[in-house]
């Protein structure tokens, strides 16, 4: 048996790991690296048949996370990989992973300066006008009254889905949040739906110089 060897820690982000190699049949990797899910995702880009990975691999594979993995090659045809990880990978979508329901008064230009493409697009009058027009149209659709419901479409749909899942959620013995936490979060989403569309329409009007005197936006 060849003597054990240790691969130095890789300094390039996003991978950081140590690989202990006892021999081809058995190696152990510790650190942050690709979760062994999907052969295309775990194959080096230099060894792929095409220039890019497929969209399915990019979106569905869990990607990287911290953990430990045993892997190796048995003979010439069989390779194995299995391990344990501290999370679901960089591609995992958690319930609060974005700013969709961040705040009803979240500025519609937030992040524009940090995004080069968006910053440049806003310098083109036609694109700027199209952007704010599309936002106002989407807000109007969200506020469109639902017949017999006494509320706008977005609020109605959130309430509808809350009521559909309420019983199953309350009876779920392994949910990561308490019933009280879920109830508070749902109330916040309903409040968001009530105020967000009006805020977007008014801020878009202000930024395009067509402000409605009824709009009061900080």
Residue 8 confidence (pLDDT): 46
Same domain? 123 vs 200: yes
Q: Is 218 domain-assigned?
A: no
Residue 163 confidence (pLDDT): 93
For residue 76, count CB atoms less than 10 angstroms from its CB and return exposed for 0-12, middle for 13-18, buried for 19 or more: exposed
Q: Is 41 domain-assigned?
A: yes
d(CA 63, CA 54): 13
Alpha-helical regions (H) of the chain:
39-42, 55-60, 116-121, 125-143, 153-171, 179-207
Which residue in this structure is represented by tokens 């524009």? 112
User: DSSP secondary structure string, 51-102?
Assistant: SS--HHHHHHS--EEEEEEEEEEETTTEEEEEEEESSS-TT---TTSSSTTS
Residue 116 confidence (pLDDT): 86
Same domain? 139 vs 199: yes
Same domain? 27 vs 77: yes
Residue 123 confidence (pLDDT): 92
Q: What are phi and psi of 33, to 5 degrees?
A: -160, 180
Same domain? 120 vs 203: yes
Q: What is the pTM of this model?
A: 0.53
Range of the domain at 169: 116-207
pLDDT along the chain (218 residues), means of 10: 48 71 85 79 70 67 83 83 79 58 86 86 91 90 91 92 91 88 91 91 86 56
For the chain, the domain total comes to 2
Cβ atoms of 63 and 90 closer than 8 Å: yes
Q: Is 94 domain-assigned?
A: no
Peptide bond into 137 cis (omega under 30): no
Same domain? 137 vs 176: yes
Residue 56 confidence (pLDDT): 65
């Amino acid at each position: 048996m060849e003597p054990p060897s240790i691969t130095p820690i890789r300094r390039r982000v996003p991978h950081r790991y140590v690989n202990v190699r006892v021999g081809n049949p058995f190696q152990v990797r510790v650190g942050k690296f690709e979760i062994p899910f999907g052969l295309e995702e775990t194959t080096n880009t230099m060894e792929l048949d095409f220039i890019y990975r497929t969209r399915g691999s990019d979106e569905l594979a869990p990607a990287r996370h911290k953990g430990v993995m045993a892997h190796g090659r048995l003979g010439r045809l069989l390779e194995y990989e299995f391990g344990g990880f501290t999370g679901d990978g960089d591609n995992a979508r958690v319930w609060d992973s974005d700013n969709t329901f961040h705040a009803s008064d979240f500025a519609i230009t937030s992040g524009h300066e940090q995004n080069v493409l968006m910053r440049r697009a806003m310098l083109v009058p036609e694109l700027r006008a199209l952007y704010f027009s599309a936002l106002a149209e989407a807000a109007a659709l969200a506020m469109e009254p639902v017949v017999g419901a006494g509320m706008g479409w977005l609020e109605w749909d959130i309430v509808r889905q809350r009521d559909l899942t309420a019983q199953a959620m309350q009876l779920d013995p392994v949910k990561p949040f308490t019933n009280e936490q879920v109830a508070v979060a749902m109330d916040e989403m309903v409040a968001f739906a009530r105020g967000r569309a009006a805020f977007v329409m008014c801020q878009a009007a202000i930024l395009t110089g067509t402000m409605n005197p009824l709009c009061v936006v900080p």
